[in-house]
Structure formats: C-alpha cells, structure tokens
Structure 1
Amino acid sequence: MKPQELILISDWGEERGQQTLKMIREGYNNKECLMSIVSTENAEHYIWGSICDGWHLAKSSNLSVIQERVPPNSSEVRHYHQRSEQFFYVLAGQATLELENSHIHTLKTNQGFHVTQGVTHKLSNQGSEDLHLLVISCPPSHGDRVTME
C-alpha cells in the first residue's frame, strides 16, 4: 500500500478507504471519490462519553455530518462552540436539549433544533430507548468546544 492510501484508510475507516481507493483505480477523480454513498456500515466510527457512538457521514473543512447513538440515561457535557453552529435532528427516540438560562427542549423523531455559535447546550437521552440523531455542524465543531462542567 502507498502512503497516500494509508492516509485515506486511517482518515475514513477501513471499508470507506478501500472503497475510495477502488474508485481512484477505476479512474474517478478526487471530487467524485468524496461523493460516495456513506452509512454507519462504512463511515469512520468513534466512541464518546464511554458508551455513545458517532459516525462521520460527511467530514470536510466546511461541514460535519455525524450520526450518533446515545443510550438511555446518557448525555454529553454542557458546552458551547466558539465558531460552529449545529443542527440536531432526531432519527429515532427522544432527545432533551438544555440551553443556557435553563431552557429545555424535548425533540421527538423527525424534529430538529438549530443551536447558534456561542450558545451553551447539553444533549441527553432521558428516554428508555436508544436515541439516534444527526448532528450537523458548520464549520466542523471538533476542536471548537469549550466545556462548562
């Protein structure tokens, strides 16, 4: 394997990296390779909060789309982003989103909420089933979080 092939695999995960290498070998250009079908089956996966799952469905310098699984009685820490704004969209389950000044919003399946930059927030699953949601950040929020707890 060439060094650039290893970078693709480490950045995107084994399956998606291999898929992209195959496309390059078949003559697709770089932009076409970035525009491929992605799912939790082939996306880069990570674990946060010791038991929650995240999959990078889209990851660029301008945009981040992450699908997350949050088990019951789990939450992220209270925080805000200096540059990023985020949109949370519930695919299944129920999310509780606490904003600064103790404003609490309950999001059900097929509901979303836009959190602008600089607004303190905390997402949790206070329900009895797994919460599945999309977190869309622009620009990407990794490295931009200021923890409040």
Structure 2
Amino acid sequence: MKKYIFNQRGVTLIELLAAAVVLAIVMVLIANVQIFGQKQFHNQTEQVSHEAEVRLAMNIVTKEIRSSHPDNIKLSKDHDTIITDSGTITRTGSNLTLDNRTIAEHIGTFEVCEPDYLGGEQSDSCKKEEVANPDSVKITIGSEENKNGKSSSLSTTLYIRK
C-alpha cells in the first residue's frame, strides 16, 4: 500500500485528458438538468399565472352579472361584450376590461351563450351546446396558449331570476 502512495511517477498526459473528458461530460449533464429545471419552472409559473387570470376574470364577470337586474344585461352580437348595471365588460386583444379598466390579462377566449329572452343571435359554439335553461347564461373564459401550447379555460352557467 505504501508503494502506491509514495509513488513519484505522476500522471501521464493520456490519463489527464481522459479525466478531463469525463469531468466535461459530467458537467454538461449537470448543466442540462439545471437548464431543463429552469425551463419547467418558468413554464409552470406561466401556466399557473394564466389559470389565475382566468379564475379572476370568471369571478368578476359572474359577480357583475349576478349583481345586475336581468333586464339590464345586454350582450353584443359577437358575444365578447356584456353590458351590466355597473359597467361594460369586453375583451380587447388579450385583455378583459370593465369600463376600460383591465381586470384580466392573457385572455384568449371570452364567450357568453345567452338564453332566448336576452335576444341576439347565437354564435356557432353556442348553437353546438344547448343552453340548459332558458333563464341561464353560459360563460366561457379561456387563457392564451403558453409556450408549450397549453391553455386553460373555465365555463359556468348562471341562472338568472326574472
């Protein structure tokens, strides 16, 4: 054992290069794992943010509709604007606004399927899905797609009492 510890021969150039190559491969693998983890963290954070925006928008829109008198709820023909007692909710670009104040960002879809008594024409997607009750309003809000092509959406049906 002492023979190997006190050996004065040193390390050859080939052994040194082999060790450097092995170390470089290990470092590249560690760096790839780190970069992958950072990308996943960023993508998941973005997805959670989009989902939170959709939930916030849905909460505000349902609150506005529920607090309005049924006769004062008006919908645009393209189903992306709602006029209530307290203001106008509309989708402008990727923002959902209430009287020109942004209430949610990164909104990809905003649609309201209306019962017959509110008037107006149904959009194609509203025609495909039957409105369960003539005194109901079906609201669908979806987020924009993230970098992975994933989006989230929420739908709810509000029953309006006359």
TM-score if structure 2 supplies the norm length? 0.23
Larger radius of gyration: 2
Greater strand proportion:
1
Greater helix proportion:
2
TM-score if structure 1 supplies the norm length? 0.25
